[in-house]
């Protein structure tokens, strides 16, 4: 839900559990993680927190207004059947609307048996108006804004979204922000700006295979081949990390003593060497990033080490190569704590990460580079523009020069993180914050480098027009996904 006046309780405890209910063997001794961790209290905002620029996702078709659902909570059950290789979902969503209209949401499957407030309704497919190739499901009844409603429905995943191997299941939420692929491939969601609480039940039927669950929620075994995962309510469609597999993968756990709390870290991967290398690097990276931007904002960190370049950041988790682990860990502060509202604000965290990747350089002059576009896109765009790295880090190094009398950009970003921790942010808010914090007029920077060109950014992160490669992981290839599952 887009209401952030929450005091959320972080009940992360048993993050990975085997189907016999015991945690996997840990090579590094670590104290048991208590399920009674004291609640972490966030400073509540006054009234309802609504990021700027988010009222523009109403779709009008033949005079009918379709309004995006503001999800409050979802109870989702996914049933995996290796016998006939099917995955069936049953969703119960509590939601409201911010505009009058027919409620719409997203899932890459066809909703069936749709019941809205105990009445059967039809769900129709609608496309976005800007040709972004997004498609949504709209419910056949207009509702007024503000009220709380409930919808439930069934769906079945297309084959290939999950693997069935040796009588068992291999399910991995392999997302990518570069192509805008998020949880909608496996379950119903709203937009990236729409945080909601998700309770996910995973059931494997007709299988005696031994499964392990890795997740960035609180996972527990609740029955034979049945797991329940509770995700914190600041999570949205780009956050959920779920890996249920009958592969046996090496892993290690340790506890990092952070600035304000102990951070349980779990690393697993395709090889023991990768796991060991990541385990040796993470403490100094956590120290560096906590030192620069403040305490790690999540309850734990989970890394799945890939031996190729593909990967993705999630809240408190990543799939990554060793070469990108520092870039991905920074995204635990910027991207998956300060969360971009949509593809128009996705450039911010990549610009920050890329500025760090290339040594936090300070520009020699300002406003002399070519005009670029990082944010002037359709509200329905999900993907991050690929020029976010080179053009974004160029902008960050100019802002570092512009803010030199205030100690440079880093302390400003620390203040930005402190204010927007575990909240959604838009491009507009970023600039509003920078100007308010530094008391400088930054309009020329925004005009020239963020809204400066009407041209679409190249989509390919390996495009030759990008002068230096980015350390952001490449989108996972189909082959990589099959291997990682």
Q: Is the dihedral of CA 350, 352, 353, 359 positive or negative?
A: positive
Minimum Å gap between C-beta 468 and Zn ion is: 14
Query: Distance between CA 218 and CA 9 in Å, rounded?
Result: 12
The string of DSSP codes covering 162-209 is SEEETTEEEEE---BTTTTB-GGGTS-B--TT---EEEEEEEE-S---
Neighbouring C-beta atoms of residue 106, cutoff 10 Å:
22
Smallest distance from the beta carbon of 70 to Zn ion, in angstroms? 28
Nearer to Zn ion, 228 or 472 (CB): 472
Other C-beta atoms lying within 10 Å of the C-beta of residue 28: 13
- Would you put residue 394 in left (φ > 0), alpha (ψ -120 to 50) or beta? alpha
| CA 261 to chain CA mean position, Å | 23
Give me the least distance between CB of 325 and Zn ion, in Å please: 12
- Of 134 and 332, nearer to Zn ion (C-beta) is 332
CB of 375 to Zn ion, least distance (A): 16
445, 449, 452, 455 alpha-carbon torsion, rounded to 10°: -170
Q: How far is the CB of 345 from Zn ion (least distance, A)?
A: 14
Closer to Zn ion by CB, 350 or 480: give it: 350
Residues in touch with Zn ion (CB under 5 A): 350, 353, 472
Question: How many residues can be counted in the chain?
Answer: 485
Q: How far is the CB of 356 from Zn ion (least distance, A)?
A: 10
Least separation in angstroms between CB 328 and Zn ion: 7
Nearer to Zn ion, 302 or 353 (CB): 353
Quickly list H helices, 171-315.
272-293
Q: Residue 45 CB, nearest distance to Zn ion (Å)?
A: 27
* Cβ-based nearer residue to Zn ion, 278 or 329: 329
* Distance between CA atoms of residues 60 and 139, nearest Å: 14
Nearer to Zn ion, 208 or 462 (CB): 462
Nearer to Zn ion, 261 or 410 (CB): 410
Computed from CA positions of residues 42, 4, 194, 330, in that sequence, does the dihedral angle turn out positive or negative? negative
State residue 112 phi and psi, 5-degree precision. Answer: -130, 160
Task: Locate 20 and state its tokens.
Answer: 């016999």
In 3D space, the residue among 195, 91, 173, 270 whose CA is nearest the CA of residue 421 turns out to be: 195
Residue closer to Zn ion, measured from CB, 243 or 472:
472
Choose between 16 and 318: whose C-beta lies nearer to Zn ion.
318
Q: What is the CA radius of gyration of the chain?
A: 22
Shortest separation between residue 308's beta carbon and Zn ion, angstroms: 16
């Amino acid at each position: 839900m887009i209401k952030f006046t929450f005091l959320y309780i972080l009940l992360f405890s048993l993050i990975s559990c085997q189907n016999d209910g015991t945690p996997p063997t840990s090579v590094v001794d670590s104290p048991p993680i208590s399920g009674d961790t004291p609640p972490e209290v966030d400073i509540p905002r006054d009234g309802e927190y609504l990021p700027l620029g988010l009222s523009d996702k109403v779709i009008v078709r033949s005079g009918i207004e379709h309004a995006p659902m503001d999800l409050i909570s979802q109870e989702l059950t996914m049933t995996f059947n290796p016998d006939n290789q099917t995955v069936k979902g049953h969703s119960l969503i509590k939601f409201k609307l911010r505009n009058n209209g027919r409620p719409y949401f997203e899932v890459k499957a066809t909703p069936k048996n749709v019941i809205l407030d105990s009445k059967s309704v039809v769900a129709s497919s609608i496309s976005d108006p800007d040709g972004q190739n997004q498609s949504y499901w709209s419910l056949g009844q207009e509702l007024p804004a503000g009220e709380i409603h409930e919808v439930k429905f069934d769906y079945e995943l297309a084959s290939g979204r999950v693997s069935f191997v040796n009588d068992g299941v291999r399910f991995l939420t392999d997302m990518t922000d570069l192509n805008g692929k998020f949880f909608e491939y496996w379950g119903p969601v709203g937009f990236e700006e729409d945080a909601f609480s998700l309770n996910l039940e995973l059931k494997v039927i007709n299988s005696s295979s031994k499964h392990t669950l890795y997740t960035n929620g609180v996972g527990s075994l609740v029955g034979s081949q049945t797991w329940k995962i509770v995700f914190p309510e600041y999570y949205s469609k780009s956050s959920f990390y779920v890996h249920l597999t009958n592969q046996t993968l090496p892993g290690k756990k340790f506890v990092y003593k952070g600035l304000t709390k102990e951070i349980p870290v779990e690393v697993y991967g395709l090889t023991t060497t990768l796991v060991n290398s990541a385990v040796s690097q993470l403490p100094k990276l956590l120290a560096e990033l906590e030192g620069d931007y403040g305490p790690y904002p999540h309850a734990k960190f989970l890394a799945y080490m890939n031996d190729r370049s593909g990967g993705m950041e999630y809240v408190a988790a990543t799939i990554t190569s060793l070469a990108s682990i520092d870039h991905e860990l920074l995204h635990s502060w910027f991207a998956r704590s300060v969360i971009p509202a949509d593809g128009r604000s996705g450039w911010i965290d990549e610009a920050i990460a890329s500025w760090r990747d290339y040594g936090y350089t300070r520009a020699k002059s300002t406003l002399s580079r070519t005009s670029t576009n990082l944010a002037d896109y359709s509200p329905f765009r999900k993907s991050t523009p690929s020029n976010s790295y080179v053009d974004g880090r160029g902008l960050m190094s100019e802002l570092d020069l512009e803010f030199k009398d205030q100690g440079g950009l880093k302390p400003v970003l620390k203040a930005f993180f402190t204010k927007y921790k575990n909240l959604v942010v838009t491009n507009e808010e970023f600039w509003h914050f920078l100007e308010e914090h530094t008391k400088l007029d930054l309009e020329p920077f925004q005009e020239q480098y963020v809204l400066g060109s009407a041209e679409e950014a190249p989509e390919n992160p390996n495009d030759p027009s990008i002068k230096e490669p980015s350390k952001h992981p490449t989108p996972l290839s189909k082959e990589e996904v099959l291997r990682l599952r």
